[in-house]
Amino acid sequence: MTLIQRYLFRQILFPVIAACAALAGIGILSQSLDQLQVIVERGQSVWIMVKLTLLALPQLLSVILPIGLFVGALIALTRLQREQELTAAFAGGMTRWQVISPAARIAVLVALVTLLVNVFILPWAQQEARRQAFDIRTDLAALLVEEGQFVQGPDGLTVYVQQIEQNGLLKNLFVYLDDKDKVTTWNASEARFSRDAGGIPILTMIDGSAQRYSSGGVLETLSFGRYDFSLAPFVGVTDTIRYKPTDLYLRQLLNPTAKVLEVAGSRGELLAEEHSRLASPLYAMVAMALALSAILGGAFSRTGYTLRIAKAAGLFLVLRVIGYGLVAASAWNGWMNVLQYVVPIVAIVVALRVLFRALKPRRSRTNAALRDLKAKFP
């Protein structure tokens, strides 16, 4: 790139980064407010809330990067055009492509980042968030244990712990269970929450006893050195982790196993999600093409470009809605996956055609002005 192109690249890049960062900040704030229930209702730590919020960021990025690019490019291009820096670049002999190539480079860069997020980071984050959410739903330790307090849980379960050590060890545990047919109590000197091989939470009690009345009304007492008390009936989640198409890697979407098809969705849904991951980065280039055509695709105006910007923003919104609609429709009509690529490519071509047609006469007028100046000052 030439010195002027590097200057234009920086002038466009920084507003784009700022716009993307601002939108990401708003998204993170919204997600953190949604995750407050993890602390309030589920008794989880602040770190868990932060972790879930950050894991939601890749999905937000795949949406906000094209929008941030569009907003940032409009801000930068409007300033450059208002201060006639682009006009000066044309007057200096730069071609149309040389002037817009820094913006095109930024669009390609954002598209590549979006593709990287969609292909690698998004599925990892989604699967990790799904596992974390499953752990929270099945984590009775935070709900049933409060030091020195009788805590009433679901389905007639009551738990008392005298002391909770920092490593999670429970001291002097008492468990009361009333399942309507019979009442059973457990006492243990130590206990700890864990999970079995299937991921089901269990309460392992050490050195204790169990008491319950038999059908004949006789109190039965059983001492044990170790007793694993399954918490599956109280979890409310009897299923394993169920992933969605957005949680899967491309290889899983392209060649799903029978288990994946059973859990995540039909083959058509998986294929539609795969093409959506690959096609959505094209909307970054759509955003830049529309921003360029909004600012440079018409006559110079000192009063602003509000109307052209509004039209470009409305068109970009319509294209994104169409894109999301095509993803849903492609799940049931496989041939429509082609349209996921056709729509943004056609939009890019049309926007660039409008842009280049508008720039062509402008360059002629600029060259004529330069010839007049040279004639006056030989």
Encode pLDDT of 76-121 as tens digits: 999 998 888 988 888 888 888 999 999 999 999 999 999 999 999 9
CB 363 within 8 A of CB 377: no
Q: What is the pLDDT of residue 195?
A: 80
Per-residue pLDDT reduced to its tens digit, 338-353: 999 999 999 999 999 9
Q: How many CB atoms lie under 10 A from the CB of residue 168? A: 12
Token readout for 221 is 């007492």
pLDDT tops 50 at residue 326: yes
Residue of 169 and 103 predicted with greater confidence: 103
Q: How many CB atoms within 10 Å of residue 22?
A: 14
H/E run at residue 190: strand 183-195
Residue 159 to residue 10: CA distance in whole angstroms: 62
pLDDT of residue 79: 92
Exposure string over 189-214, b if 16+ CB within 10 A, otherwise e: ebbbbeeeeeebbbbbbbebebeeee
CB of 77 closer than 8 Å to CB of 291: yes
Q: What is the pLDDT of residue 19?
A: 97
% of the chain with per-residue pLDDT over 70: 88
Phi/psi at 89 (nearest 5 deg)?
Answer: -65, -40
pLDDT bin (cut points 50, 70, 90) of residue 138 is: low
Q: Quote the tokens at residue 250.
A: 């491309």
Q: Look up residue 332 and give its two tokens.
A: 């049931």
Q: Is the pLDDT of residue 369 over 70?
A: no
Q: Who wins on pLDDT, 296 or 1?
A: 296
Q: Facing residues of 161 across strands?
A: 147, 173
**pTM across the whole model:** 0.78
Phi-psi region of 172 (alpha: psi -120 to 50; beta: other; left: phi over 0): left
Q: To which residue do tokens 């000052």 refer?
A: 377
Residue 217 DSSP one-character state? S
Summarize pLDDT for 30-80 with one digit per residue, the tens.
Answer: 988 888 766 665 556 788 888 999 999 999 999 999 999 999 999 999 999
Tokens 């056609």 belong to residue: 346
The first and second tokens of residue 97, run together, are: 């492509």
Closest CA to 8 of 83, 66, 62, 71: 83
